[in-house]
Amino acid sequence: MFRLCKRAVFIHEQWIVNVNLTLSPYSTSPVRLGILQDVNKKCERFLQQRFPRFSIMHHTLMKGFRLLLEDVKEVGRIKRSMWMNRTNYRDLPYREMKRLILFRRDMIKAIPLLVISLPPFAIGFVLILMCLFPRQLLFPHFWTPQQQRKFQMIDHIKRSQCQAKILDSLVLTVPRLSKWHQRNLLNLCSKVQDGKHPRVSEVYTVHHVFHTSSPLGLQCVKPRHLRLLASQLSVIVWFPSFLVRRRLTTKALDLLYLDLALQRLGLRQLTEEEMRQACDLRGLNSSQLTSGQCEEWLHQWLELSTKVKESEISLLLHSMTLLTLNYPPVTK
Instruction: Report pLDDT digits (tens) over 149-158.
Output: 888 888 888 8
Which runs of consecutive H residues, i.e. helices, occur in 117-240?
123-132, 134-137, 145-173, 179-193, 200-204, 223-231
Assess contact for 302 and 263: CB atoms under 8 A.
yes
Whether 3 shows a pLDDT value over 60: the answer reads no
Whether 45 shows a pLDDT value over 80: the answer reads no
H or E segment to which residue 56 belongs: helix 52-85
Residues 88-100 have a mean pLDDT of 90
Residues 245-258 have a mean pLDDT of 92
Contacts of 25 (CB under 8 A, 6+ apart): none
Whether 309 shows a pLDDT value over 60: the answer reads yes
Whether 221 shows a pLDDT value over 70: the answer reads yes
Q: Looking at residue 46, what is its pLDDT? A: 60
Q: Which residue has the higher pLDDT, 121 or 320?
A: 320
Residue 21's CB is within 10 A of a number of other CB atoms, namely: 10
Q: What is the pTM of this model?
A: 0.79
Residue of 196, 153, 200 lying closest to 297 (CA atoms): 200
Residues 195-202 have a mean pLDDT of 91
Range scoring the smallest mean pLDDT among 125-129, 224-228, 318-322: 125-129
How far apart CA 148 and CA 240 sit, in angstroms, is 30
Task: Give, to the nearest 10 degrees, the angle between helix 223-231 and helix 241-265.
Answer: 40
Question: CA 146, 152, 158, 163: dihedral to nearest 10 degrees?
Answer: -160
Helix (H, G, I), strand (E, B) or coil at 15: helix
Q: For 59-77, what is each residue's pLDDT tens digit?
A: 777 777 788 888 888 888 9
Whether 159 shows a pLDDT value over 90: the answer reads no
